[in-house]
Chain A
Amino acid sequence: MERKIRVLVAKPGLDGHDRGAKVVARALRDAGMEVIYTGLHQTAEMVVQTAIQEDVDVIGLSLLSGAHMTLFTDIAELLKERGMGDVLVVGGGIIPEEDVPRLKESGIKGIFGPGTSMDEIITFIKENVKG
Chain B
Amino acid sequence: MKDLAQRVMKGDPRAIARMITLAENASPEARECMKVLHSRSGNAHVIGITGVMGAGKSTLISELAREYRKRGKRVGIIAIDPTSPFSGGALLGDRIRMMELATDPDIFIRSMGTRGMLGGLTGAVYDVVEILDASGKDIVIVETVGVGQAEVDVIKIADTTLVVLVPGLGDSIQSIKAGIMEIADVYAVNKADRPGFERTMAEIESLVELIADRGEERTPIIPVIAKEGKGIPELADTIDAHRKKMEGTKEFTLHRRRRYEAELVEIIRKRLMKMIFDEDVFRDRVEDLIDMIMRKKKDPYSAADEILSQVLK
Contacts of A121 in B (CB 8 A): none
Query: Taking chain B's interface residues, is the majority helix, strand, or loop, or is none over half, making it mixed?
Result: mixed
Asked if B39 lies at the interface with its beta carbon under 8 angstroms from chain A, I say no
Number of B positions contacting A (CB below 8 A):
34
Are B113 and A31 in contact, with the CB atoms below 8 A? Answer: no
Residue of B nearest to A46 (CB): B102
Asked if B274 lies at the interface with its beta carbon under 8 angstroms from chain A, I say yes
Are B102 and A54 in contact, with the CB atoms below 8 A? Answer: no
User: Contact residue range for chain A?
Assistant: 20 to 34
Q: Which one of B14, B26, B96 lies within 8 Å of A83 (CB-CB)?
A: B14
Contacts of A54 in B (CB 8 A): 17, 110-111
Residue of A nearest to B270 (CB): A1
In angstroms, Cα B17 to Cα A1, docked, is 19
Return the CB mask of A1-17 against B: 1 if under 8 Å, else 0.
Answer: 10110100000000000
Return the CB mask of A39-50 against B: 1 if under 8 Å, else 0.
Answer: 100110110011
Are A4 and B95 in contact, with the CB atoms below 8 A? Answer: no
Q: Which one of B16, B88, B95, B278 lies within 8 Å of A37 (CB-CB)?
A: B95
In angstroms, Cα B84 to Cα A25, docked, is 14
Are A31 and B25 in contact, with the CB atoms below 8 A? Answer: no
Q: Which one of B13, B88, B92 lies within 8 Å of A35 (CB-CB)?
A: B92
Residue of B nearest to A33 (CB): B89
In angstroms, Cα B90 to Cα A34, docked, is 5
Contacts of B90 in A (CB 8 A): 29, 34-35
Return the CB mask of B60-94 against A: 1 if under 8 Å, else 0.
Answer: 00000000000000000000000110011111110
Are A52 and B93 in contact, with the CB atoms below 8 A? Answer: no
Count CB-based A-B contacts (< 8 Å).
90
Contacts of B16 in A (CB 8 A): 53
Are A37 and B96 in contact, with the CB atoms below 8 A? Answer: yes
Residue of A nearest to B77 (CB): A53
In angstroms, Cα B87 to Cα A33, docked, is 8
Residue of B nearest to A37 (CB): B93
Asked if B103 lies at the interface with its beta carbon under 8 angstroms from chain A, I say yes
Contacts of A50 in B (CB 8 A): 95, 99, 102, 109
Are A53 and B17 in contact, with the CB atoms below 8 A? Answer: yes
In angstroms, Cα B14 to Cα A52, docked, is 6
Are A53 and B108 in contact, with the CB atoms below 8 A? Answer: yes
In angstroms, Cα B102 to Cα A47, docked, is 8
Are B89 and A30 in contact, with the CB atoms below 8 A? Answer: yes
Given contacts A29-B90, A39-B96, 9 further A-B contacts (CB under 8 A): A1-B25, A31-B87, A32-B89, A34-B89, A34-B111, A35-B89, A49-B13, A52-B14, A55-B21
B residues neighboring A (CB under 8 Å): 13-14, 16-18, 20-21, 24-27, 83-84, 87-93, 95-97, 99, 102-103, 108-111, 113, 115, 274, 278
A residues neighboring B (CB under 8 Å): 1, 3-4, 6, 25-26, 28-39, 42-43, 45-46, 49-50, 52-55, 82-83
